[in-house]
């Protein structure tokens, strides 16, 4: 489309590689206006079945610490120029955590809290901080979540799913008009409301729905 891109491969779990990416960007463009923290993955299974290193530690490192480390690397430059925008990819799991999402939800709840606190820190310096909360989207993410039968049984209804293009357009809209948060689709605000105001009902319904699958997996283990 006539624009210019600077691809830099990096692992967000390695702070040194993050610093190198920021340096490359500054050397090429002289400034950083927007950081979109989008790296992440999920391993969805019963908590006791998750591997402590490959599933638990790795998810927290990439999904939460990677977001924080990358934001920390660009903030001094944004503060110096008195402008900038950090957009953090969160998830509906950062508002309402269903079974199988224990570690992923913990990381995304962390991203949500981090975004809120950082927004208030950065505001006086002209730097915006936003969080985006999409529902299920057909991306590479689905290839890494595992093969749990309960997850396949209780997938997100199609009418609540969004395409990757929808998410991309949402990010662009945030970049053009910064605000605190964006839910995709907008109807995703409804599960959040139910989880917040009818928590006991939500607990019982989800526990009852997932319990048979959990029992079966425990017997087969």
Domain boundaries, the chain: 34-220
- Residue 99: predicted pLDDT: 93
Asked if residues 91 and 108 have their Cβ atoms less than 8 Å apart, the reply is yes
Task: Please give the model's pTM, rounded to 2 decimal places.
Answer: 0.89
Mean pLDDT across 175-201: 86
CA angle 155, 41, 132 (to 5 degrees): 75
Report the catalytic residues.
104
Torsion (CA) 62, 67, 69, 74 in degrees, nearest 10: 140
Q: Both tokens of residue 153? A: 């049984």
Percent with pLDDT over 70 in the chain:
90
Q: Both tokens of residue 63? A: 């999904």
Q: Read off the pLDDT of residues 73-108 as tens digits, 9 standing for 90 and up.
A: 999 999 999 999 999 999 989 998 999 999 999 999
Q: Are strands 84-89 and 127-134 parallel, antiparallel or unpaired?
A: parallel
Look up residue 95 and give its DSSP letter.
Answer: T
Q: Which of residues 139 and 102 earns the better pLDDT score?
A: 102
CATH class for the region spanning 34-220: alpha beta
The pLDDT of residue 172 is above 70: yes
Lowest mean pLDDT among 22-26, 49-53, 134-138, 148-152: 148-152
Reported in sequence order, the residue ranges of the chain that DSSP labels E, i.e. its strands, are: 34-37, 84-89, 127-134, 181-184
Asked if residues 175 and 87 have their Cβ atoms less than 8 Å apart, the reply is yes
Please enumerate in sequence order all residues whose Cβ is within 8 A of that of 54, keeping only pairs 6 or more positions apart, or say none. 43
Reported as type and span, the H/E element at residue 67 is helix 66-81
Reported as type and span, the H/E element at residue 175 is helix 164-176
Look up residue 41 and give its DSSP letter.
Answer: -
Looking up tokens 């975004």 gives: 115
Query: Using 50, 70 and 90 to split pLDDT, how confident is the model at 149?
Result: low
- Residue 194: predicted pLDDT: 83
């Amino acid at each position: 489309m006539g624009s210019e891109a600077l691809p830099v491969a990096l692992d967000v779990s390695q702070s040194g590689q993050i610093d190198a990416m920021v340096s490359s960007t500054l050397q090429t463009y002289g400034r950083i206006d927007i950081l979109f923290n989008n790296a992440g993955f999920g391993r969805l299974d019963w908590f006791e079945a998750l591997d402590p290193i490959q599933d638990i530690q790795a998810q927290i490192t990439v999904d939460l610490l990677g977001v924080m480390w990358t934001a920390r690397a660009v903030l001094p430059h944004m503060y110096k120029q008195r402008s900038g925008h950090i957009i953090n990819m969160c998830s509906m799991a950062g508002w309402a955590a269903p079974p199988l999402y224990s570690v992923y939800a913990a990381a995304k709840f962390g991203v949500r809290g981090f975004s809120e606190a950082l927004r208030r820190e950065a505001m006086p310096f002209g730097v915006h901080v936003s969080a985006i909360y999409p529902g299920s989207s057909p991306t590479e993410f689905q290839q890494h979540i595992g093969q749990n039968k309960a997850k396949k049984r209780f997938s997100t209804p199609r009418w609540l799913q969004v395409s990757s293009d929808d998410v991309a357009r949402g990010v662009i809209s945030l970049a053009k008009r910064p605000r605190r948060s964006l839910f995709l689709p907008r109807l995703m605000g409804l599960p959040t409301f139910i989880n917040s105001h009818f928590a006991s009902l939500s607990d019982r319904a989800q526990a009852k729905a997932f319990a048979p699958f959990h029992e079966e997996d425990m017997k087969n283990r």
